[in-house]
Amino acid sequence: MALIACPECGKEVSNKSRACIHCGCPLINTKCNINGTVYDFSEELPTLLLERVEDYLPAFGEIRMKTLLKISDTDRLIKIIKQIKEVPETFTPEYPLEAREKLYGNNENSANSANKRIHSITCPYCNSMNTRKITTTSKVIDTAVWGIFGTKRNKQWHCNNCGSEF
């Protein structure tokens, strides 16, 4: 056991303690360098150290949104955090952001294409992405004409390929 100085109050504390016994300052690392950008996970760290997956799932999403890592990279980072009980100083993703930018273009284009991919709906019958949202006006007219036998009332999307509504 060695004694180290607290970064906040300057008093000596054990290097094995997780917080300063004098001022309560956390002594474990909460910052991580990912692809040259330093991220602070001090808000997510307590949640990530919980035992059950359901408990730390919101922190998983927050880390993905903050760092733009793939699911597999985020999962690997969380496994490292749970194993060493602190955030690693550096983390190298399997598929870095620069490589994704080369494939999908710069940040603006990749963000726009990612939004389009997230919001594009595929038909469950023919797997076509050529779909459109059924408007409220169309639903009202269908219900007015066909009454309770109208088909659009409980549907949200129309497939332009096969004509199905789902």
Please tell me the distance from the alpha carbon of residue 51 to that of residue 94, in angstroms, as a whole number.
26
Which one, of 166, 95, 155, lies nearest residue 125 by Cα?
166
H helices of 30-89, where? 45-48, 53-67, 71-84
Closest CA to 34 of 4, 64, 62: 64
Q: 63 and 69 in contact (C-beta within 8 Å)?
A: yes
Whole-number Å distance between alpha carbons of 122 and 120: 7
What is the band of 111 on the pLDDT scale with cuts at 50, 70, 90?
A: very low
Percent of the chain exceeding pLDDT 90 equals 1
Per the document, the length of the chain is 166
Confidence of residue 117 (pLDDT cuts 50, 70, 90): very low
- Predicted pLDDT at 113: 47
Tens digit of each residue's pLDDT (9 = 90 or more) over 13-57: 887 777 788 887 777 778 899 888 888 887 887 777 777 777 778
**Average pLDDT of the segment spanning 112-137:** 73
Q: What does the pLDDT read at residue 131?
A: 87
- Please say if the pLDDT value at position 135 is more than 60: yes
